[in-house]
Amino acid sequence: MSEFPTLDNFYFYGKTVLVRPDFNVPVDPNSRKIIDDSRIREHAETIRELSEKGARVVIIAHQGRSGDPDYLESLKGHAEALSTILGKPVKYIHDLFGEDAKNAIRNLKPGEILILKNVRSFPEEAKDKTPEEHSKSKLVQELAPLIDIFVLDGFSVAHRGHCSVVGFAPVKPVCAGRVMEGELKALSKVFEKPEKPMICILGGAKAEKTVTIVEYMLRNNIADSILTGGLVSQLFLAAKGVNLGNVNVEILKRKKLYELIPKAKELVEEYGDSIKLPVDVALDVDGRRIEVKVSELPSEKPIMDIGVETANTYGKLVANAKSILVSGPLGVYERDAFIEGSRRVFEAVALSKAYKVAGGGDTAAVLRKLNLYDKFNYVSLAGGAFIEYITGEKLPGVEILKRK
């Protein structure tokens, strides 16, 4: 990762700083209250630092997608949550770039914090455009004259070429906030020049990008081995010609993974033993965990986890790694009977001396459930952005930082 500007490169006292965190958090569908404030807690450290340095902090963020049940036009609840975390007042204004928002920004004193209305209420926000195109939008044209510096803190929104992510870069000085900085440093350590051997553990249920990740990591000699679990392993087992049973094939079809089999087959043929597959799996037999060897498949019961023999083999492999990247649980961890594979493997990861990074989808949640969160050098709260990064794609939000 090439150098990028951070908070250390600017003097903030009295400056108006527009911060773009990722405040998109789970909300209860009935009460509309925030049920997990982890992301707000993460970004609070960037905001605290700016406020303590005397910046006038203006926050621009989104919650949900317009029209979806988790969409909240007002971020008042987010302002309250941030205020509780910081132990200081956080103002909220239900306006994005009208006169009310502009006056609220002009009236901020050094150290004060203001959150603007959900930026996805602006119809042009969620369109993928170039930074130059977005810089001509009303949002940027109205707010830019009032701000001095733009801080991009949300790595987890960096895969979106959205207006509030890239639009201020052509017209304002830009730097990474602490979350973005930490994320890019951790990812570059494990992903760009990893200490070898490097092991990547891939699981999870949303596996559409898996084949691309495996190909990128092996072709570019980033990973030495890929250990598979979850639907990822079922995809590769099917690619090797294992008959999983109709119920499991149907799941692959429903998740649009079945069509990836030909590409997965090519990778298995090309990289052979570098792609590790389960030798046993756990089935859901009327709610009970029953393990069978892969050689005993097909089964008409759903595969829910890797088996204990596989987990122990994976555990031995990670013990010698110097760098480990984990993306996704290895089984249906939400059910206690099927968390065992993830437990055994991730406990071995925790014990290893490797530099370890985890992220994507449900990874933070499974590590929290296993009490292993703190054993990792870095746990990313990003979903899509993390996955796109590890497929080798360029993220628009990261590109604007590198450009500076």
Residue 35: Cβ within 10 Å count:
10
Q: How far is the CB of 271 from ligand 3PG (least distance, A)?
A: 30
Q: Which lies closer to ligand 3PG via its Cβ, residue 53 or residue 159?
A: 159
CA distance 38 to 256: 31
- 36 forms part of the interface with ligand 3PG (CB under 6 A): no
Inter-residue contact 213 to 202 (CB < 8 Å): yes
For residues 64 to 103, the per-residue mask of contacts with ligand 3PG, x marking binding by CB under 6 A and - elsewhere, is: -x--------------------------------------
How far is the C-alpha of 323 from the C-alpha of 357, rounded, in Å? 8
Pick 70 or 100: Cβ nearer ligand 3PG: 70
Which positions from 120 through 159 interact with ligand 3PG, judged by CB under 6 A?
Answer: 156-157
Q: Which of 16, 24, 225, 327 binds ligand 3PG (CB under 6 A)?
A: 24
Minimum separation from the CB atom of position 165 to ligand 3PG (A): 10
Nearer to ligand 3PG, 96 or 303 (CB): 96
Neighbours of 84 (CB within 10 A): 13
User: What is the rounded distance in angstroms from the CA atom of residue 119 to the CA atom of residue 106?
Assistant: 19
Of the candidate residues 22, 183, 224, 388, the single one contacting ligand 3PG (CB under 6 A): 22
CB of 156 to ligand 3PG, least distance (A): 5
Q: Which residue is nearest to ligand 3PG (CB)?
A: 24
Supply the minimum distance, in Å, between the C-beta of residue 294 and ligand 3PG: 34
Contact 257, 235 (CB under 8 A): yes
CB of 113 to ligand 3PG, least distance (A): 20
Q: How far is CA 345 from the centre of its chain?
A: 21
φ, ψ for residue 264, nearest 5 deg: -60, -35
Distance of CA 146 to the CA centre of its chain: 31
Cis-peptide, bond into residue 69, ω within 30° of zero:
no
Contact call for residue 383 and ligand 3PG (CB under 6 A): yes
Binding positions for ligand 3PG, 154-183, rule CB under 6 A: 156-157, 160
Q: Which is nearer to ligand 3PG, 156 or 342 (CB)?
A: 156
Of the two residues 223 and 385, which places its CB atom closer to ligand 3PG in the complex? 385
Q: Which of 204, 348, 214, 210 is nearest to 272 (CA)?
A: 214
**Which of 258, 378 has the CB closer to ligand 3PG?**
378
Which residue is it, tokens 């050098």?
377
Please report, as residue ranges, which positions from 2 to 21 form the binding site for ligand 3PG (by CB under 6 A).
none
- Which residue lies nearer to ligand 3PG by CB, 65 or 193? 65
Question: Which residue lies nearer to ligand 3PG by CB, 156 or 352?
Answer: 156
Minimum distance, C-beta of residue 400 to ligand 3PG, in the bound complex (Å): 17
Q: Taking the complex as a whole, how short is the minimal distance between the CB of residue 52 and ligand 3PG, in angstroms?
A: 26
Considering only residues 48 through 67, tell me which ones interact with ligand 3PG, judged by CB under 6 A.
Answer: 65
* Nearer CB in complex with ligand 3PG: 245/384: 384
CB 173 → ligand 3PG: shortest distance, Å?
Answer: 24
Helices 76-86 and 38-52, interaxial angle, to 10°? Answer: 60
Number of amino acids touching ligand 3PG (CB under 6 A): 8
Considering beta carbons, is residue 157 or 235 the nearer one to ligand 3PG?
157
Least spacing, CB of residue 380 vs ligand 3PG, in Å:
11
Of 162 and 356, nearer to ligand 3PG (C-beta) is 162
For the CA atoms of 356, 360, 362, 367, the dihedral, rounded to the nearest 10 degrees, stands at 10
CB of 157 to ligand 3PG, least distance (A): 5
**Which chain residues interact with ligand 3PG by CB under 6 A?**
22, 24, 65, 156-157, 160, 383-384
